[in-house]
Amino acid sequence: MNSRTFPDADTLAVRGAEQSAFHAEAAAATRERFGRRVFVRGVVEVSNHCRENCHYCGMRRDNRSLDRYRAGHDPLAELLVHHRPASLTDVNIQTGEDPVAVREVVLPLVRTLRRETPLGVSVCLGTLNEALYDELQEAGASLYIIKFELADAARYEQLEAPGTLAERVGHIRLLAARGWRVSSGFIAGLSGQDTDEMLENLRLARDLPLDGCSVSPFIPGEATPLARNRVGALDTTLNCMAALRLMRPELIIPAVSALNLAGADDGYQRGLRAGANLCTINLTPSELREDYLLYKRERFIMSEERVLHAIAAEGLEVSRASMEEHWQARPLLAEALAD
C-alpha cells in the first residue's frame, strides 16, 4: 500500500524540470495500474441546505444571504435516466449536510438510478447516522465520499469543520467496515497551513481505508470568514496529488475543477498529468448551480465538452467501465486490511 518513501518537504516544493519528472512518475504509476483510461462521472448537487458552519465553505449555515434549495427527484431522474451525457459511467449525488434532502430526494433518486440505469452511484452527503448509511447502501449506492479536509485536529476545530476530526475519521472507518467503498480528500493551501500540516494530510490519506482521494486547492469562499485569504498554490496541490498517487497507486484520484481557479488555465490538465484518473461533469441544473456555493459563484464548470477535450489533449481515453465495475473484481479494502 506504500510503494514509495513518504514525501518530504522538499518533494512538495519541487518546481520546474524536477517537478515535471515527479509528475511524470506519478502519471506512469497511474498508467501501470489503470492503463490510459480515465473514469467520467456526473455530479448533481441536490441541496445547498447545510447544518455545518465550515469557515471555508460558502454554504455554511451562517451565510444568510444564500438562496437555499432542494432539487426535486423527478427532474433529476429525467435528466440522468434519459438525457445524461454518453460518456458517463458513474454519477455522484451531492448535498450540504442535509438529512432532510437525503430522505426526501437522495434515497428515491438512488433507487431510481439503480433500477433504470447501469450507472455506478456514489453519494457525498456528509456525516450521517448508521441507519441512513445502511438505507443508502440498500438503495444501491456503493461509494461514499466523505472528506476529512485537514488532518490537524486543532485547526479542524478552529475552522468549525464537521464535528471533530476524530469523529470524521471514525465515520470513514465505519463506512469502510460496513462494506462501502470510501473516497475522501483534503484541502491544500489553507491560510497558515505549513508544510508539516500538508504532510500530515498525506499521512492520514495514506493510512485510511480509502478507495479514492482528492486534493483540492484552497479557494477563498465568498460570504465566509476566509473570503480575503490567498488562493492555495496550484503547484503545491499538484505535488500533493503526485505524492498521493505514488504512495497509493490503487486510488482513484479526481482532477477537481478548482484546479483551473488556482492560477492557471491548464490546471485541470496538469492534474491529469500529475496522476489523476477521474473527471467529473457538472449536471446540476443551471438555475440551481450558482447557489451551490462551495467557494464562489464563478466556479469553473466542467461540461462534457471540456472534460473530453482535457482527456484527449493528454492522450488519454474515456473508460467504458464504471468505477463500480472496476472494483467488482477487487476485495474491499477493509477486508484486505483485515487479512
Report, as ranges of residue numbers, the positions in the chain whose pLDDT lies below 50. 1-3, 333-334, 336-339
- Residue that is written with C-alpha cell 442535509 in the block: 98
Sign of CA dihedral 250, 31, 320, 318: positive
pTM of the model: 0.95
**326 in a structural domain:** yes
pLDDT at res. 339: 45
Q: Is residue 19 part of a domain?
A: yes
- Whether residue 142 lies inside any domain: the answer is yes
DSSP 3-state assignment of 94? strand
Angle between helices 16-34 and 234-247 (to 10 degrees): 40
Average pLDDT, the chain: 94
116-141 pLDDT, tens digit per residue, is: 999 999 999 999 999 999 999 999 99
Which SS3 state, helix, strand or coil, does residue 161 take?
A: coil
Task: Give the count of domains, the chain.
Answer: 1
Report DSSP letters for 95-125, one per residue. ESS-HHHIIIIIHHHHHHHHHH---EEEEE-
Single-letter residue type at 74: D
Domain contains 50: yes
pLDDT the model gives residue 330: 73
Would residue 309 count as lying in a domain? yes
CA-to-CA dists, residue 38 to 35, 139, 187, angstroms:
9, 27, 23
Using only C-alpha atoms, the chain has a radius of gyration, in whole angstroms, of 18
First to last CA, the chain: 14
Residue 3 forms part of a structural domain: no
> Does 2 map to a domain?
no
What per-residue string of b and e applies to 209-226 under the rule 16 or more CB within 10 Å gives b? bbbbbbbbbbbbbebbbb
Range(s) of the domain holding residue 89: 9-338
Q: Which residues pair with 278 in a beta bridge?
A: 39, 254
Residue 4 resides in a domain:
no
Q: What is the pLDDT of residue 331?
A: 64
User: Using one digit for the tens of pLDDT, what is the confidence trace for 42-89?
Assistant: 999 999 999 999 999 999 999 999 999 999 999 999 999 999 999 999
In the prediction, which pLDDT does 23 show?
98
Where residue 277 sits, what CATH number does that domain have?
Answer: 3.20.20.70
SS3 assignment, position 16: helix
| Dist. CA 113–CA 111, nearest whole Å | 6
